[in-house]
Amino acid sequence: MAASAFVAHLLALLAPAWGVAVLSTGLARLVFRRRQWRMRWWVCALAGGLLGSTVLLAGLVWTGEDGRMATYTALIAVQALLLSLVMQRPSPQ
């Protein structure tokens, strides 16, 4: 496989993770404007993208195929968990 084909396949594998991370973080920021967030927008999107990429790569290794519904379900669950942790208000001191 040529290097350009490998890069194209890798980008196609990881694109859903980064797309979901950016869209979910942006939409959550629009919907929940008055909440106190624990991270900046770009840090939350970066964390979601890296965490989602890890989930997709683990799903590829575990199932042996890309694009399984269980992998995408795990991706959405991990993104939702990350956003719920980031959106919690800090405890009063």
Q: What is the pTM of this model?
A: 0.84
Q: DSSP E strands: which ranges in the chain? A: none
From CA 84, how far away is CA 60, in angstroms rounded?
A: 26
What digits encode the pLDDT tens for the residues 6-19? 999 989 999 999 99
pLDDT for position 37:
77
Can you list the alpha helix ranges (DSSP code H) found in the chain? 3-31, 41-63, 69-87
pLDDT for position 47:
95
